Amino acid sequence: MRFQTLYEGRWIFLIVAAIGWLGWFLGWFWLVVLAALLVIFCLNFFRDPDREVPPGDDVVVAAADGVVADIVEIEESEVLMTRCKRIGIFLNVFDVHVNKAPIAGRISYFQHHPGLFLDARNPECSIKNEALTWAIEGKSATLVIRQITGAIARRIVPWSKLGDQVEKGFRFGMIRFGSRTEIYLPMTAIIEVKLGDKVRGAETIIAKLV
């Protein structure tokens, strides 16, 4: 556990603790048990394990834990203004929700977009949901990463800022409770994952830059 990650759940832990105390005070032991189960769930959600990051400037790692939901060619019209390969990763409530830098480089773009809270599995969530767009300018390419909220996840927490230099695998933020993370890659990138693959942030190689 890392303090920074647990700190993001401070109000949730306080509410759960209050529920447990109320159950104990009233003698409602079923409520105490419920609070204990909620504590276990929250500790699992806010876990933030260290990972062994694969080396190489050409190696791109997953920016999030989850399942590869789509791999498409699409126009990236916010930062790069060009056609890209996009890998979308769906995070359920049991995945680690800390996002990691897929490459080393400088954060050259950072923009928040207000929006809806559609289910992160809905194809329209990429366009309509609240999101945070990042760009990391590396030695070989500039990658765009988009953190997208879901129906349950309604808070994106940035831990980095424009101009920061980050290492590959660096924790730059998190999304709370079920969401989606997208990585936009150059058309020349070689994709190393397929639909349905389970990936681990900072550890799984999702592409190679050429």
Count other Cβ atoms within 10 Å, centred on residue 27.
8
**Which pLDDT score, from 0 to 100, does residue 178 have?**
64
**Which pLDDT score, from 0 to 100, does residue 80 have?**
96
pTM above 0.85, yes or no: yes
**Which pLDDT score, from 0 to 100, does residue 132 have?**
95
**Which pLDDT score, from 0 to 100, does residue 154 have?**
67
Percent residues over pLDDT 90 in the chain? 72
- Pairwise CA distance, residues 153 & 92, whole Å: 10
Q: Which parts of the chain sit beneath pLDDT 50?
A: none
Give residue limits of the domains in the chain: 3-45, 59-208
Is 108 annotated in the active site?
no
**Which pLDDT score, from 0 to 100, does residue 1 have?**
55
**Which pLDDT score, from 0 to 100, does residue 77 have?**
94
**Which pLDDT score, from 0 to 100, does residue 153 have?**
56
Catalytic residue of the set 126, 140, 160, 179: 179
Q: Where are the extended beta strands (E) located within 59-204?
A: 59-61, 66-76, 82-91, 98-100, 105-113, 131-137, 142-148, 156-158, 165-166, 171-175, 179-185, 190-191, 198-199
Q: Which of 91, 100, 80, 101 is nearest to 185 (CA)?
A: 80
Q: Which fold has domain 59-208?
A: Glucose Permease (Domain IIA) (2.70.70)
